[in-house]
Each structure stands twice: as structure tokens, then as C-alpha cells.
């Protein structure tokens, strides 16, 4: 049943935490290969849980997931993700399991850092970077591993508006230039301008999907007016 035009296929996925009740209930979605999609939904609707299931960090109770490997994950807080002291060392760390030669590792790190415009930062200590630069290092880690799919869980939540714009356009460019597929969780509706499509998650199910501007208008009407 594999459809080669899709990078992510989720069919009737069910998941709940012990004593936590159902989080995902017959959740289904499909992301076409080489496209940039976003996932929206209220707090607690199961967005992070769905991403963790897609990344294989959690196991579903029922349903099917098909996702093109390798899969890269970018967390909301890069300080929970970057583990090495410098930019170059952190990107190289993600390649350890691939048992590459020193030369191959260096080439992969350089290629990945130039893809996110951080070539000049290779020897920079992680602590000296801005939040947006740290997120780009996390993305470079995925690119160095030649990830087909990039999952990003509210990657701009801790960023200022300039870094937010920089990151979302960076991912848009990477998808266009490298044929990557990205699924980006957000609650910032202005980011919908940069994606190809979006899903709305409610009560553990995808209740709407498709044109990002239509979804944006729907969600703006749902927002509680300011008092
Ligand atoms: N480790 C956990 N154990 C129990 N419940 C959890 C755990 N992680 C998340 N939940 C619950 O699952 C629901 C969905 O959480 P989450 O996927 O983080 O939502 P979102 O990312 O959409 O805000 C929430 O009600 C949350 O409290
Ligand atoms: Mg979340």
C-alpha cells in the first residue's frame, strides 16, 4: 500500500499515555514528498505526541505509520538537543553511528553547515550562539545525516520575530532546494505563509487539512477576541 509520492503516511493511529486517556484517536494524515506542511492545534491536542510517534520515540497502540528514513527532529528548545561544545563537533556527533572516515565526516559537516548559512561558525562555541543560530545547528545535524524528513516541534517558540522569519524561510528554502519533506508544529499563524499545506489537530484527530491560508482564516475566526 506504499504510495511513493508520500513521505509521511499515518493511518488510524491510536495512542494514550498510561492513566492519561486517549491522546490520538484514529488519527490519519499524509504529507507529499518534497513539501513543507505545518501542524496546528490547541495546547494539549497531541501535536508533540504525534511528532514523537513519527520519529519512533513513542510506540503506537494501533494504526500504521510509514515515514521515509532517515528522520530528523528539531525540538522547541535547542539547549535540550545540542550536546557538544562547538558547532562543528555537534553536527559531527550525529554522524558517529555512520562510521564514516574523517574526510567524509568533515565533508558532510561542511555541506550541512553551508546549507544553513553557518559555515563561518564551525568552530564557534554553542553557548555563543543566538537561539535561531542554535536551531540552524540542529537542522544542520539532520542535513548531515541526509535526513529525508524533518520534524520540527514549535522550533520558533523561543525566538524573536526576526529569527522566527529567518528560520521558517530557511526551512522553506531547504525543502525547495534539497527535496526534503518538513512537518512543522506551530501556533504562530503568520508562519502559515511559508508552507505548502497544513493540518488542524483536535481531540486526537485531524479535523481539517489543506490550503494554509484557508486554515489561517478559520483559526483567526476561532480566536478569542482581545478584551
Ligand atoms: N509523558 C506523558 N505522560 C502523560 N501524559 C502526557 C505525557 N506527555 C503529554 N501528555 C499529555 O498528552 C496530551 C497531549 O500532549 P502534547 O502531545 O504534548 O500536546 P501538544 O504538543 O499539542 O501541546 C496532553 O494532555 C498532555 O498533558
Ligand atoms: Mg507540544
Domains contained in the chain, CATH given: 6-69+148-222 (3.40.50.300)
The per-residue pLDDT for 20 is 81
Q: Which parts of the chain fold into alpha helices (H)? A: 47-54, 87-93, 102-115, 131-144, 161-178, 212-222
- Which has more confidence, 21 or 108? 108
- Ligand 2 geometric centre to CA of 161 (Å): 20
Cα–Cα separations (whole angstroms), residue 200 to 39, 154, 206:
6, 15, 6
The per-residue pLDDT for 4 is 87
With a Cβ cut-off of 6 Å, ligand 1 is lined by 17, 20, 23, 41, 43-49
Residue nearest to atom 27 of ligand 1 (CA): 44
Interval 87-110: pLDDT, tens: 999 999 999 999 999 999 999 999
- Ligand 1 geometric centre to CA of 45 (Å): 8
Q: pTM (2 decimals)? A: 0.95
Task: Give the closest residue to 139 by CA, choosing from 49, 75, 203.
Answer: 75
The per-residue pLDDT for 224 is 58
141: left (phi over 0), alpha (psi -120 to 50) or beta: alpha
Residue 223 confidence (pLDDT) above 70: no
pLDDT (average), residues 172-187: 96
Q: Rounded CA gap, 156 and 143, in Å?
A: 19
The per-residue pLDDT for 3 is 85
The per-residue pLDDT for 19 is 84
Closest ligand (CA of 202): 1
Residue 1 confidence (pLDDT) above 70: no
Amino acid at each position: 500500500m506504499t504510495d511513493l509520492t508520500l513521505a509521511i503516511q499515518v493511518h488510524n493511529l491510536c495512542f494514550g499515555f498510561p492513566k492519561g486517556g486517549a491522546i490520538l484517536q484514529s488519527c490519519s494524515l499524509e504529507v507529499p514528498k518534497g513539501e513543507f506542511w505545518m501542524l496546528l492545534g490547541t495546547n494539549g491536542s497531541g501535536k508533540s505526541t504525534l511528532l514523537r510517534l513519527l520519529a519512533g520515540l513513542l510506540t503506537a497502540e494501533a494504526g500504521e505509520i510509514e515515514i521515509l528514513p532517515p528522520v530528523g527532529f528539531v525540538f522547541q528548545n535547542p539547549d535540550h538537543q545540542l550536546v557538544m561544545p562547538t558547532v562543528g563537533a555537534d553536527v559531527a556527533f550525529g554522524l558517529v553511528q555512520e562510521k564514516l572516515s574523517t574526510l567524509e565526516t568533515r565533508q558532510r559537516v561542511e555541506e550541512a553547515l553551508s546549507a544553513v548559512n553557518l559555515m563561518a561558525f564551525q568552530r564557534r562555541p554553542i553557548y555563543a550562539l543566538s537561539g535561531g543560530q542554535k536551531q540552524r545547528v540542529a537542522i544542520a545535524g539532520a542535513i548531515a545525516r541526509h535526513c529525508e524528513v524533518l520534524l520540527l516541534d514549535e522550533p520558533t517558540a523561543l525566538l524573536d520575530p526576526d529569527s522566527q522569519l529567518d528560520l521558517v524561510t530557511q526551512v522553506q528554502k531547504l525543502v525547495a532546494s534539497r527535496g526534503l519533506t518538513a512537518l512543522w508544529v506551530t501556533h504562530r499563524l503568520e508562519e502559515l505563509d511559508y508552507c505548502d499545506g497544513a493540518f488542524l489537530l483536535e481531540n486526537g484527530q485531524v479535523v481539517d487539512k489543506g490550503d494554509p491560508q484557508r486554515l489561517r482564516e478559520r483559526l483567526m475566526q476561532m480566536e478569542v477576541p482581545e478584551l
